[in-house]
């Protein structure tokens, strides 16, 4: 039995679900997580237990029937960059060395092909559990950025390689979410949030990784590590 976090917009709800799996099932469920089988089961349980006739709109659905018809899409692998790494950043250092695997898969939740919200699947204590569900505004912003990423790279003359699969990068200390891609032309980052202007970045613009990291490293110097949990 696990406690999970559910968010709808600015509303955060704590619920308990029974989606933990045994060690014997782990290998099979890792494969299911990648294909969306486990995520779809988690989504269905969230809809059954959390989404009601009274609150479906708070999760971005047009009706309870819409919520029940929702499906998960292709996931993004989630990584994190911690505050200490950002503060220690020096020009020329790559993104890869700063990334920590968050052991999370981020799945868009769609209805009739449109992204409504998201559900996350987390690897913890050698098992898979359902993670956060909801957060429609940030989910839609992330999905839109992901949809545009390859096009924006091509506008810079960088062709999309076979198997192109951006990663989702979070900087918890700064509340920043980015999309990351390593290409033949170098490392690139695309803001995947609604207000990147606070760091001098523009929504929908692809940046060389060094440019983004420099801006975030400057902001990180103003953050007191003792106040970050």
- Average pLDDT for runs of 10 along the chain of length 229: 49 44 50 79 96 96 97 95 92 88 94 96 83 94 92 85 84 93 90 85 90 93 74
Burial class (CB in 10 A: 0-12, 13-18, 19+), 10: exposed
The tokens for 46 are 């969230």
pLDDT of the residue at 211: 94
Cβ contacts of 140-143, under 8 Å, gap ≥ 24: 140/60, 140/115, 140/116, 141/192, 141/193, 141/194, 142/76, 142/106, 142/108, 142/118, 142/168, 142/177, 142/179, 142/192, 142/193, 143/73, 143/108, 143/115, 143/118
DSSP state of 173: T
pLDDT of the residue at 6: 54
Give CA–CA dist 32/199, Å, rounded: 38
Give CA–CA dist 24/42, Å, rounded: 19
| Three-class DSSP category at 89 | coil
Give CA–CA dist 150/165, Å, rounded: 9
Give CA–CA dist 153/176, Å, rounded: 21
pLDDT of the residue at 92: 80
- Any residues with CB less than 8 A from the CB of 183 and at least 6 apart, and which? 153, 158, 161
Q: Whole-prediction pTM value?
A: 0.83
């Amino acid at each position: 039995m696990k406690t999970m976090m559910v968010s709808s917009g600015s509303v955060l709800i704590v619920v308990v679900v029974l989606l933990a799996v045994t060690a014997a099932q782990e290998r099979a469920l890792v494969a299911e997580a990648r294909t969306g089988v486990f995520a779809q089961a988690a989504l269905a349980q969230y809809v059954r237990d959390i989404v009601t006739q009274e609150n479906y709109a708070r999760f971005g659905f047009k009706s309870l029937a819409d919520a029940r018809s929702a499906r998960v899409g292709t996931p993004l692998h989630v990584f994190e960059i911690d505050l200490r790494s950002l503060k220690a950043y020096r020009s020329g250092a790559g993104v890869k060395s700063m990334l920590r695997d968050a052991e999370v898969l981020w799945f868009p939740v769609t209805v009739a092909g449109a992204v409504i919200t998201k559900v996350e699947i987390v690897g913890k204590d050698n098992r898979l559990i359902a993670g956060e569900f909801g957060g429609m505004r940030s989910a839609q912003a992330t999905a839109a950025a992901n949809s545009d990423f390859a096009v924006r790279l091509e506008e810079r003359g960088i062709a999309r390689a076979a198997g192109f699969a951006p990663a989702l990068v979070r900087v918890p200390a700064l509340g920043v979410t980015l999309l990351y891609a390593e290409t033949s032309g170098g490392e690139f980052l695309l803001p995947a949030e609604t207000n990147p202007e606070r760091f001098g970045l523009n929504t929908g613009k692809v940046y060389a990784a060094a440019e983004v990291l420099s801006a975030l490293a400057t902001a990180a110097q103003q953050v007191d590590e003792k106040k970050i949990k």
